Amino acid sequence: MRRQLLRQPNRHRPEPRAVSNRRLPRCLRLVLHLPLWLVGAVLAGLLVQALIFSQLVEAQSISVAPPVAPPVAPPEAQPHPLPPSLTQWHSEAGDYFDAIAPTELGYLVWSNFPISVYIQSEPKSAPAASLTQPDLWRSAVEQAIQEWTLYLPLAITSDPSTADITILRSAPPMQRPDAAGLPRIRSAETRYEFFVRQQSQPPQASFFQRLTIYLSPRQTADYTLAAVRHELGHALGIWGHSPNPTDALYFAQVRDPAPISQRDVNTLKRIYQQPTQLGWAVPVSASSGSEAS
């Protein structure tokens, strides 16, 4: 007798069922029909944008020693007189001074006014199609400078060699990868360096700071304004971030960037009331030279 073997279903592994595309949302069904290279390009673009906008707009401290150091130690830290604009300022809105970090020479306080600012221009060899964007970029930068001028005297200069603050039309240098192995991409960043200036009559030396702001041109005008407003706050002395999203120096980007707040100005005023070694002269020997930077 011939036995007929019947296939028994696997009780532990049910038969797979085909999934119909009709059960998927219409947007997903459309994605399934796109070429793989196109899907990959879209996902890569979204990832880059996420990396750019998720990173904080934050300051990076880089202190550069002068090439020729005079034989003089930094002066004793002392507070400078407040500029009239901060002397007259008063608000009970509070501040975030506890979040501000001093440098190795004290707080980044300016003592010579007006603070000169150089704005890098677009090269003349730039393609004609890109000439409108630099105008928007520069207008946003000049507006931010005007806003901060209400609290500290600022002046735009055309000579980069004499500038206290230089604003470069360039994205910040790439950062080292983070813990997840992803590159740290930023659209704006501020760096400082110290230098020593000497004079012969009378023979003395003073320590000063220079600030460089990297500001990417590949942003909308509104974001450029918010970013340069934030970075100028760092350059003027607010070397830290606010925990409050209603402050211009908030530590992260928000959908609706805040203007310069009363808390920002209160923090700036407290910084300028602190002792610093910057801007104070100390006597040196006449043989030390006339200037080092």
pLDDT digits (tens, 9 = 90+) for 60-105: 444 444 444 445 788 999 999 999 999 999 999 999 999 999 999 9
Residue type, 244: N
Last residue of a domain, one of 54, 73, 96: 54
Predicted confidence (pLDDT) per residue in 147-191, tens digit: 999 999 999 999 999 999 999 999 998 766 555 555 556 889 999
Number of other residues whose CB lies within 10 A of the CB of residue 24: 13
In a domain, 86, yes or no: yes
Query: To which residue do tokens 């399934």 refer?
Result: 32
pLDDT of residue 13: 45
Verify that 208 and 83 share a domain, yes or no.
yes
Q: What is the pTM for the complete model shown? A: 0.73
Q: Name the most confidently modeled range: 136-140, 180-184, 285-289.
A: 136-140
Verify that 49 and 63 share a domain, yes or no.
no
In a domain, 5, yes or no: no
Residue 213 belongs to domain with CATH number:
3.40.390.10
Verify that 129 and 43 share a domain, yes or no.
no
Query: Helices in the chain by DSSP H: which ranges?
Result: 26-32, 36-54, 84-87, 132-149, 221-235, 262-272
pLDDT of residue 175: 67
CA 127, 131, 136, 142 torsion: positive or negative? positive
In a domain, 13, yes or no: no
In a domain, 49, yes or no: yes
Q: What is the mean pLDDT of residues 7-24?
A: 48
The pLDDT > 70 percentage for the chain reads 66
Whole-number average pLDDT of the chain: 79
Verify that 50 and 121 share a domain, yes or no.
no
Neighbouring residues of 142: CB distance < 8 A, sequence distance ≥ 6: 119, 156
The values of phi and psi at residue 132, to 5°, are -80, -35
Into how many domains does the chain fold? 2
Verify that 158 and 260 share a domain, yes or no.
yes
pLDDT of residue 165: 98
Q: Whole-angstrom Cα distance, residue 211 to residue 214?
A: 10
Verify that 65 and 48 share a domain, yes or no.
no
Strands 165-168 and 188-200: unpaired
List the Cα angle 213/228/187 in 5-degree steps: 70
Verify that 97 and 112 share a domain, yes or no.
yes
- Report CA-CA distances (Å) from 258 to 223, 226, 235, 249: 11, 8, 18, 9
Verify that 47 and 131 share a domain, yes or no.
no
With 60 as the cut, is the pLDDT of residue 132 above it? no
Predicted confidence (pLDDT) per residue in 99-128, tens digit: 999 999 999 999 999 999 999 987 665 554
Verify that 48 and 86 share a domain, yes or no.
no
In a domain, 1, yes or no: no
pLDDT of residue 198: 87
In a domain, 9, yes or no: no
Contact 258, 248 (CB under 8 A): yes
Closest CA to 117 of 232, 279, 267: 232
Predicted confidence (pLDDT) per residue in 221-263, tens digit: 999 999 999 999 999 999 999 999 999 999 998 889 999 999 9
In a domain, 249, yes or no: yes
Last residue of a domain, one of 54, 77, 101: 54
Verify that 126 and 43 share a domain, yes or no.
no
Q: Domain range for residue 73?
A: 58-288
pLDDT of residue 59: 45
With 50 as the cut, is the pLDDT of residue 27 above it? yes
Ranking 41-45, 52-56, 157-161 by mean pLDDT, the lowest is: 52-56
More confident residue, 81 or 17: 81
Verify that 220 and 260 share a domain, yes or no.
yes
In a domain, 276, yes or no: yes
Q: What is the mean pLDDT of residues 256-278?
A: 97
Last residue of a domain, one of 13, 36, 54: 54
Q: What is the mean pLDDT of residues 129-138?
A: 69
Verify that 62 and 103 share a domain, yes or no.
yes
- Residue 194, token pair as written in the block: 């110290």
